[in-house]
Amino acid sequence: MAKRDYYEILGVAKGSSADEIKKAYRKKALEFHPDRNPDNKKAEEQFKEAAEAYEILRDDAKRQRYDQLGHAGMGNNGGFGGGYAGFDMNDIFDRFGDVFGGEHPFESFFGGGGGGRGRSGKRVHRGSNLRIKVKLTLEEIATGIEKKVKVNKYISCDKCSGQGAQKGSGFNTCSTCKGSGQVTRATQTILGYMQTASACPACGGEGQIIKDKCKGCNGDGIVKGEDVISINIPAGVAEGMQLSMSGKGNAGPRGGIPGDLIIAIEEAEHAHFKREGNNIYYELYLNFADAAIGTSSEVPTLEGKAKVKIDAGTQAGKVLRLKGKGIPDVNGYGKGDLLVSVNIWTPQTLTSEEKKLLEKLKDSENFQPHPDKKNSGFFNRMKEMFE
């Protein structure tokens, strides 16, 4: 089933500000929150759907890619690595604590506390994003392609399964914060005592301390490694566009949420074609005789070869259009054209016999540039082109 438009999901206009998008998500999240809709699968899916929409629209770079490319620009995995249907509820809570003033989403409304923390009480770390460049030929851009790339990044430590503790060791509850991950401080103000909460300095907000650190990762749960990632690149992308794959960046420390992989598109220079938008241009060189008498000529396309008819008296600079032989629109709105620009090749060396023939022809009435004739300015244009 096709995905709904993210702006439609949140009920906002395309030009809405970041604050308007944040406010709309907060409203939707409260409406469909599982605590308010127990055992309601539809509400749960709408809750996740709103979270995915907010994940994209809150980020300026992702939002720009979405506005340019639609869902195709979000890579294989939509907003959350597998789409909202496969995203864990706790991950949504952990990722969007900023919507509710730094508190765990909904805990301020439904009881509980803790800034940016999972329901287990453990602070969840997020891995950093990665950015790579992928160079494509025009042929690959025209059809879309699956690329497999090898990426150097932080991956989960296999010796401790990403938890940071030696196997068989485990964790102790932090004695400083008693497992809450937070410490509170009371301050006397003119309004009375004010309590503030901050991440526990002893455990870094995790609520627990590793007994024996894994020797493979020194307790971080991540190590340097490499991963082979398949990227489905849609047809019609262009130089400078960026695609995003959620969850394909650096692994999060100690079982945290992975970052995103940002794919920057580069276009390789083509031997024959120049691209402008969804149209491509080709320079066709004809000799003077073919242009004057008329002929047919074979030109390359992105799909093979095509024949074009050259009418008698074709002038230099004429453009022949081959409809639908260009680049597909990335949003699916048809295809561009192949525009063939005709150039007349002027011989640079002549035999004495060829020179005599041209001397006889140049005084002919048909060879004179007249404003009222179709071949007006022919020699002048050739002169300008080859000077």
Averaged pLDDT, 82-101: 52
> In the chain, which segments carry CATH 2.60.260.20?
125-159+215-268, 273-386
Residue whose token pair is 């949140």: 10
Confidence label for 347 from pLDDT (cuts 50, 70 and 90): confident
Q: How many helices (H) and strands (E) does the chain have?
A: 10, 15
As a whole number, the mean pLDDT across the chain is 81
pLDDT digits (tens, 9 = 90+) for 205-238: 888 888 999 999 999 999 999 999 999 999 999 9
Report residue 143: phi and psi, to 5°. -110, -20
Q: Which of 191-195, 260-264, 322-326, 339-343 has the lowest mean pLDDT?
A: 191-195
Please provide the CATH number assigned to the domain covering 273-386. Answer: 2.60.260.20
Q: If one looks up domain 125-159+215-268 in CATH, what number appears?
A: 2.60.260.20
Query: Token pair of 103, please?
Result: 């508190």
pTM of the predicted structure, to 2 decimals: 0.62
Most confident of the following: 115-124, 129-138, 371-380: 129-138
Domain 1-87 CATH assignment equals 3.40.50.620: no
Tell me the β-bridge partners of 334: none
| Cα first-last separation, the chain | 60
On the question of pLDDT at 153 being above 80, the answer is yes
Q: What is the pLDDT of residue 112?
A: 35
DSSP state of 283: E
Mean pLDDT value of segment 354-372: 77
Q: Is the pLDDT of residue 346 over 90?
A: no
The reported pLDDT for the residue numbered 120 is 43
| Cα 89 to Cα 118: distance, rounded to the nearest angstrom | 10
User: How many other CB atoms sit within 10 Å of the CB of residue 288?
Assistant: 16
299: enclosing H helix or E strand: strand 295-301
Rounded Cα gap, residues 196 and 185, in angstroms: 5
Burial class, 240, CB count within 10 angstroms (exposed 0-12 / middle 13-18 / buried 19+):
exposed
- Give the CA angle between residues 89, 92, 95 to the nearest 5°: 150
pLDDT at 95: 59
Task: Report DSSP state, residue 87.
Answer: S
Instruction: Quote the pLDDT of residue 113.
Output: 35
- pLDDT of 102 strictly over 70: no
Q: List residues bridging with 155 in a β-sheet.
A: 223
Phi and psi based region of residue 176 (left: phi greater than 0; alpha: psi -120 to 50; beta: remaining): alpha
Decide if pLDDT at 108 tops 60: no
Per-residue pLDDT at 328: 94
Between residues 314 and 371, which one has the greater pLDDT?
314
Check if the beta carbon of residue 264 is closer than 8 Å to that of residue 143.
Answer: no
Span 94-120, average pLDDT: 43
- Long-range contacts formed by 43-50: CB under 8 A, 24+ apart: 44/89, 45/84, 45/85, 47/89, 47/92, 48/80, 48/84, 48/85, 48/87, 48/89, 48/92, 49/4, 49/9, 49/84, 50/9, 50/10, 50/25
Residues near 212 by beta carbon (within 8 Å), at least 6 away in sequence: 165, 166, 169
Name the strands in the sheet holding 130-136, side by side, starting at the edge strand that comes first in the sequence.
Answer: 130-136, 261-267, 242-245
- CATH 1.10.287.110 in the chain, residue ranges: 1-87
| Model confidence pLDDT, tens digit, residues 296-318 | 999 999 999 999 999 998 999 99
Three-state DSSP class for residue 287: strand
Contact partners, residue 102, CB within 8 Å, separation at least 6 = 115, 116
CA distances from 29 to 21, 22, 62, 77, 101 (A): 12, 10, 21, 22, 15
